[in-house]
Amino acid sequence: MRALISFIILAFSIQSLAGFDDVIPEKRVVFNPVVSTSARTLPQWQFGYQRAGGANVNSHMLTNALSMGVLPRLEIGTVPMFYATASGSRNYTVKGNFYRGENFDWAASFTETRFRSEVKKEGKVVERPDLVLRSTQLGFNYRPDWNENVTMSPFITQVCGHIDSTNGLIFVYSLKCEAEYGLDIQYQIKDREWITLAYGHLREAGLSPYEQMNTGVGLAWSQLRPKEMFSRPSVGVYYTPDTQDTLFLLSTTFFEL
């Protein structure tokens, strides 16, 4: 909770400094990512079903976050599936859109997920600490002047995990961090349709930093349907050559205006 409060304070501090240079574009900005996340937050009271900033495309699509815009540039969310499948699990994600301009947007996301674990000694459970996963992501959306139909979105995510044990040695030996990175390139093919190509260097399963890192490529098709229940459906596929895994992707917003 202290990390969440600190992040929100930092978000609004940076936003207040960046606000002097912000130029809100007249044209509506729509970005539908595969491996990254949008540097724009959801509008206030708008809901979406999408990957969290610290999540991973290799996670099952049912582990997307249910997110909501709580302020014009602040978005929060949680992954409902973890509560249903993992006893003692809890999680949250928060994203702040620090800069918003004609050609460039910048956002930072923070995610924390806790899974209940067990420490045994001589076959007996002596402690049930949490396995903690924390992710911090910096994301950018860039719309070049030379083609208004193109949006490019590089990102980097720092993922750290540890066992929140009362035993200091367990914490030290379990602490590990990894860095993920990637790039989405979106192209508008029709008035309300987009194709997104993606490259990513990501964790194998996306649920902890103790996993092998692999490189993959992805493709997604998206459509904008204002005021419909599924307003911005996006379906895609992501393939990892090293493991020969193929994953199917799904996300949407709800009743987007």
Determine the pLDDT at residue 19.
46
Taking alpha carbons only, the member of 228, 235, 233, 234 closest to residue 257 is 228
How many degrees, rounded to 5, is the angle at CA 250 between CA 248 and CA 251? 155
The gap between the terminal CA atoms of the chain, to the nearest Å, is: 32
How many degrees, rounded to 5, is the angle at CA 242 between CA 154 and CA 62? 65
Q: Whole-angstrom Cα distance, residue 131 to residue 133?
A: 7
Q: What is the pLDDT of residues 20-48, one digit of tens each?
A: 445 444 456 889 999 988 999 999 999 99
Q: Strands 104-116, 130-142: parallel, antiparallel or unpaired by DSSP?
A: antiparallel
* Overall pTM > 0.75: yes
Residue that is written with structure tokens 């990957």 in the block: 51
Q: What is the pLDDT of residues 141-167, one digit of tens each?
A: 999 999 989 999 999 999 999 888 887
Which residues of the chain, if any, have pLDDT below 70? 1-28, 54-62, 86
